[in-house]
Amino acid sequence: MTKRLFYIAICSLFFNAQNFAQGDLTTCTLFNEANLLKHVKSLSSDAFEGRRTGTKGALKAEKYIINQFYSLKVKPLGKKYHQSFVFSRRGKTYNGTNILGLIEGKELPHKYIVISAHYDHEGIKFGEIYNGADDNASGLSALFSFAEYFRSNPPKHSIILAAFDAEELGLQGSKYFVKNTIVSDKAIVLNINMDMISRSSEKELFVVGTAFNEQLKNIVSSIDESENIKLIKGHDGYDGLDNWTYSSDHANFHKKGIPFLYFGVDDHKDYHEPTDDYENIQPDFYIEAVKTIISVFKKVDCAKY
């Protein structure tokens, strides 16, 4: 066993002991599962009108995210939660807004892990609302579960919780963030991105990014198998599967040379359809997926970069 892997193993034992000692935060109750589902149901309801960038639905989503961050004691990354930006696409100008929260690390406060999910979706087309429950109310709601988890389990690194806008319009929110990080981009050691994590007929959750980083590959490989979910390394462009390296907001971190882990599921029949509704997610799989991602986080938070 290398010194690095030994360090990771010891750190993992520490977290397990800490969770056991707390009693009310075991590996089965890392966060409030009912709240996780409630947030997905709310954010993918017709009231948010599909959360398209620059619309009233998007503004409502922004307020929702900020309210949750505030209630979960997540500080704004800068002077405020908002990071506004302007971009043009196909001759149209858009006003976008990233929502950025900060949880200060207890040991490495000047090193950052960005945990991200985009909150925008397709909006209303031809009179039908594209609610985007899986894409990506699921990833966004998982950000709130991470915030819940950190209240009882302070992270070693500082954490930026990033709700990115305009992913559906060319990854614009994450592109702006990476170019205007507020903190130094050299201080960002990892991006964990979540986009579509709430349903899989095969109970498969893919993790992309390990092909580019041996340390991350070792960490993901060390995660215990679960009967309820299969965590599969792949879609990196080296295994014959569709290449997801540039498919979501993690792409902009990768282009900047920042390591990433992207968690997502295969496309399904409701992908980018008005039928991507709360009723079609798989709650048991979704809850297990978020637990699995937190398990990976615990180990990467212990790693040396």
Return the bridge partners of 262, or none: 193, 208
Q: What share of the chain is helix, strand, coil (3-state, %, to 5)?
A: 40, 20, 35
Amino acid letter, 211: A
Give the helix/strand (H/E) hosting 294. helix 283-302
The pLDDT value given to residue 304: 86
Task: Give the pLDDT band of residue 10 (cuts 50, 70, 90).
Answer: very low
The amino acid sitting at 300 is V
Asked whether the predicted pLDDT for residue 48 surpasses 60, the reply is yes
What DSSP state is assigned to residue 277?
-
The residue among 180, 191, 186 whose CA lies nearest residue 77 is 180
Residues 46, 123: contact at Cβ < 8 Å? no
CB environment 35-68: b (16+ within 10 A), e (fewer):
ebbebbbebbeeebbbbbbbbebbeebbebbbeb
Cis peptide before 136 (omega within 30 of 0): yes
Residue 305 pLDDT > 90, yes or no?
no
Task: Give residue-wise pLDDT tens across range 173-200.
Answer: 999 999 999 999 999 999 999 999 999 9
Tell me the three state secondary structure of residue 305.
Answer: coil
Which residues form the domain of 293? 3-302
295: closest CA among 200, 214, 227, 226? 226
The gap from C-alpha 179 to its chain's centroid, in whole angstroms, comes to: 19
What is the rounded distance in angstroms from the CA atom of residue 236 to the CA atom of residue 208? 6
pTM: 0.91
pLDDT of 84 over the 50 cut = yes
Structural domains of the chain, count: 1
pLDDT digits (tens, 9 = 90+) for 49-73: 999 999 999 999 999 999 999 999 9
CATH code of the domain containing 274: 3.40.630.10
Residue with tokens 């009310």: 24
